[in-house]
């Protein structure tokens, strides 16, 4: 299936998930995240949850990474050129919703893509080769292209990967791992 077909299907599927199912799925995902080997990770990027899109709540992952003394980086979106800028998320960093209701840091120190050892990536669906379908603006493809070649990329998703995304292009970057509920 194409990205646009998959985007439509999985946006709808996510909206149909009940709070109980989301809780079960997130518990399973957290368990898998907590079992990742992050012994070499000093700085991790993670997305802040878009509640209106029923994204996974990343707060417990942020807390876990902090407990391991890992620096946390989050992004701000620039919709004029579909790019992300990145900022350290400290315990006292203020978060505010932008005009698209995306949570973003307000009073934070900027980080560089090359500082990152690990990036957690939001997605709607992925395929068996770890290519992803996001919301369709290319923010993360542009972002990941600027990261070091050895950065670890992990997608977080509520759904099992599909066989193949049929309209991949040269800008699509496969993730190293996709975590989704098992069983």
- Kindly list the structural domains of the chain, giving each domain's residue range(s) and its CATH number in brackets, ordered by start: 3-179 (3.40.50.10420)
pLDDT in the model for residue 137: 86
Dist CA 134 CA 126 (whole Å): 9
Find the angle CA(92)-CA(60)-CA(84) to the nearest 5 degrees. 65
Dist CA 167 CA 158 (whole Å): 22
Residue with tokens 């998959």: 6
Low-confidence residues of the chain: pLDDT under 70: none
Q: Sign of the C-alpha dihedral, residues 80, 88, 106, 157?
A: positive
pLDDT in the model for residue 46: 98
Tell me the pLDDT tens digit for each residue of 6-39: 999 999 999 999 999 999 999 999 999 999 999 9
Give the E-state strand segments of 10-100 in sequence order. 43-45, 71-78, 83-88, 95-97
pLDDT in the model for residue 171: 85
């Amino acid at each position: 299936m194409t990205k646009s077909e998959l985007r439509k299907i999985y946006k709808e599927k996510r909206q149909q998930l009940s709070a109980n199912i989301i809780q079960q799925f997130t518990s399973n995902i957290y368990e898998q995240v907590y079992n990742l080997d992050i012994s070499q990770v000093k700085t991790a990027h993670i997305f802040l949850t878009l509640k209106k899109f029923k994204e996974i709540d990343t707060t417990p992952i942020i807390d876990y990474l902090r407990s391991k003394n890992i620096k946390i980086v989050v992004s701000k979106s620039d919709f004029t050129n579909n790019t992300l800028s990145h900022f350290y998320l400290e315990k006292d960093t203020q978060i505010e919703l932008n005009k698209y209701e995306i949570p973003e840091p307000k009073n934070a120190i900027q980080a560089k893509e090359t500082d990152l050892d690990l990036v957690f990536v939001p997605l709607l669906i992925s395929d068996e080769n770890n290519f992803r379908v996001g919301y369709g603006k290319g923010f993360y493809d542009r972002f990941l292209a600027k990261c070091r070649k050895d950065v670890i990329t992990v997608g977080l998703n509520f759904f099992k990967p599909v066989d193949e995304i049929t309209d991949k292009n040269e800008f699509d970057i496969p993730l190293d791992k996709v975590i989704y509920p098992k069983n």
